[in-house]
Amino acid sequence: MNTDIARVVVLVAVGAICFLVYRHHASGPTPPDTPPPGFLPPSRQNTTFAGPDPALHPAVGIASRGRWEPAARLLAATREKRDWALRGAYVGAFATVAVRPDGGEAAFLTAWEQAVGPDDPDLAAVRAEAVVELAWQLRGSAWAKDTSQERFRDFHGVLAVSHGVIAHAVELAPEDPTPLLADVSAGIGRGRSHEEMRALWARITALDPYHCGAHLRALQYWCAKWHGSEELATSFAREAAAAAPAGSLLTMLPLLAWLEHQPDIDKPPRYRTPEVTALVDAALADVAAAHPDHPCLLRARHLLAFFLTQQARYPEAAVEFRRVDGHVGAPPWVYFDDPAAAYCHWRDRAVRGGRRR
């Protein structure tokens, strides 16, 4: 791969899913200073990750200090096991520390290439993800009318570069859907047509039909704020959930499709209709059937904790909050300006509501 192209790959730390989602810009109430017993205050909530991962988190920290070996080992293991969902999550995490914020490439990527060459499939997958995330970081999260021409110029310039970076990663590992996930994100920015997106989606699902992370990204394309509509997003979400086996966690999709199209996400009566209650119940059953190590399980628990609280199902919500406390890097908390404060507000409401019963 051309070295100059590789050096364009830059990323400020944003999540693989979160950079696609416009925040609702809700500040959220300030939680009490003292959390309920057994829970952590806002200051001790990790805003980067959805939950703990004893293998990933230390490796990400080591990569940020310039060492590539732990990242390479983890990614090689996911490729050898063909664990594409976990690989997608790990590639996204390492992409967040891919380079310095000043535009130069991070030391760990430079050292990695020097050690193994530019044609390592794991290195290439991280670069493919990172170059697309850079584009979205340069664009920013404002609405189009509030985004400057300079930002759009930089955004589209990096997206143009991403095509070659992604193609290189796909060529090195054609059996791996991970670089194609980056292409979904790039396609949202390029305004890929419905026909083109469906063709790309067919390639991804041929490799891994129930890839949770891939479905979460593709859902964004079909939302009204991008290139679809509420009807198209809902249809995509419900068809995917209906076709997936128990434990796949694709039941998150209808909940997210519904949430994405709410003008105000803090209106409890809307959450208490029979339709939304049925969606929550289906997701609860899916979570119960999921493998404990499923890479999307903690994200599902965050989403359920919020919906259950909105439905005043406080004891059930408190169970989910207890399982994720300490990490808030997941929807819906990332939709708020202060994710930790928003999380603690809803968590405390669930815990205290349950105790009053």
Q: What pLDDT is attached to residue 133?
A: 86
Q: What pLDDT is attached to residue 315?
A: 96
- Bridge partners (DSSP) of residue 326 are none
What six digits make up the tokens of 297?
A: 């399980």
* Full pLDDT tens readout for the chain, 357 residues: 444 333 333 333 334 444 444 444 455 555 556 889 899 999 999 999 999 999 999 999 999 999 999 999 999 999 999 999 999 999 999 998 886 656 567 889 999 999 999 999 999 999 999 999 888 888 877 788 888 888 889 889 989 999 999 999 999 999 999 999 999 999 999 999 999 999 999 999 999 999 999 999 999 999 999 999 999 999 999 999 999 999 999 999 999 999 999 988 888 889 999 999 999 999 999 999 999 999 999 999 999 999 999 999 999 999 999 999 999 999 999 999 999 999 999 999 999 987 765
Whether residue 294 contacts residue 247, with contact meaning beta carbons closer than 8 Å, is answered with yes
Q: Select from 127, 16, 19, 18 the least CA-distant residue to 68.
A: 127
Q: What Rg do the C-alpha atoms of the chain give, in angstroms? A: 20
Q: What pLDDT is attached to residue 109?
A: 92
The residues, any chain, with a CB within 8 Å of residue 135's CB and separated by 6 or more, are 154, 155, 156, 158, 159, 162, 186, 189
- 322 exposure class (CB count in 10 Å sphere: 0-12, 13-18, 19+): middle
- Bridge partners (DSSP) of residue 99 are 105
The DSSP call for residue 19 is: G
Cα 39 to the chain's mean position, in Å?
A: 24
pTM of the model: 0.89
Q: What pLDDT is attached to residue 328?
A: 97
Q: What pLDDT is attached to residue 66?
A: 93
The residues, any chain, with a CB within 8 Å of residue 107's CB and separated by 6 or more, are 66
